[in-house]
Amino acid sequence: MSTPTRHAIVGSGNIGSALARLFARAGIEVSIANTRGPESLRQLSASFGSGVHAVPLEQALHSDVIFMAIPFAAVEQFGKSLPDWTGKTVVDTTNAHYAPNSAEVLQGRLSAHYTAEQLPGADIVKAFNQLPANTLAAEIDPQQGRRVIFIASDSPQAGDRIAALVGDLGLAAVQLGRIDEGGRLIQAPNALVLRNLIEQPLF
């Protein structure tokens, strides 16, 4: 097995591919995995250049920061991939609202809290779920501004870590505090979902 990258994306569909594009554009190495294995990802990863590594799911799970870009319905199964998620920061990009039976599954919980229950020990950061994948990946002239990415986490350290990474990806992080505070606003279909905000330079 090659040395794990610090960041990994699990899921290679719309959001996983958009995230890979952002990492490639910023020149930050990232691994990407799905259920079908790295062979299924060779073409996709090659299209992003040498910094996007197609890896088996088990290898992606060695990374410190894992972007969970899978259907909400798969979160429970994904959570069983590790017995203990302590030490991992997991960025939850899922939107339960669009999944069948989500109300029955959530039972009134916020979806990021449900994710935290399925991945015991992980620091969950809710982010990158608010925009359509093609909007997320679309390039903006830096002179026009930077696309806003809202972030919520019950771990201030994990929130800060992802905010710094968002900046490194050329985007503008806006931290909303805890999941049951500002985090509510980015749970679909709430107020900040599908808001494509651009932070313009003031000076």
Ligand X SMILES: NC(=O)c1ccc[n+]([C@@H]2O[C@H](COP(=O)([O-])OP(=O)(O)OC[C@H]3O[C@@H](n4cnc5c(N)ncnc54)[C@H](OP(=O)(O)O)[C@@H]3O)[C@@H](O)[C@H]2O)c1
Q: In the bound complex, what is the minimum distance in angstroms from residue 69's beta carbon to ligand X?
A: 5
The torsion angles phi and psi of 150, rounded to 5 degrees, stand at -85, 145
Q: In the bound complex, what is the minimum distance in angstroms from residue 161's beta carbon to ligand X?
A: 21
Q: In the bound complex, what is the minimum distance in angstroms from residue 137's beta carbon to ligand X?
A: 10
Give contact residues for ligand X (rule: CB under 6 A): 10-16, 34-36, 57, 69-72, 74, 77-78, 93-95, 98, 129, 132-133
Residue with smaller CB distance to ligand X, 112 or 163: 112
Residue with smaller CB distance to ligand X, 57 or 172: 57
Residue with smaller CB distance to ligand X, 133 or 163: 133
Q: Are 36 and 56 in contact (CB under 8 A)?
A: no
Residue with smaller CB distance to ligand X, 131 or 142: 131
Q: In the bound complex, what is the minimum distance in angstroms from residue 127's beta carbon to ligand X?
A: 10
Residue with smaller CB distance to ligand X, 98 or 157: 98
Contacts of range 17-22, beta carbons closer than 8 Å, 24 or more positions apart: 17/44, 17/133, 17/137, 18/133, 18/134, 18/136, 18/137, 19/67, 19/69, 19/93, 19/128, 19/136, 20/44, 20/45, 20/48, 20/52, 21/48, 21/137, 22/136, 22/137, 22/169, 22/170, 22/171
Q: In the bound complex, what is the minimum distance in angstroms from residue 80's beta carbon to ligand X?
A: 9
Nearest to residue 176, comparing CAs of 165, 163, 166, 189? 163
Report the residue closest to ligand X, judged by CB: 13
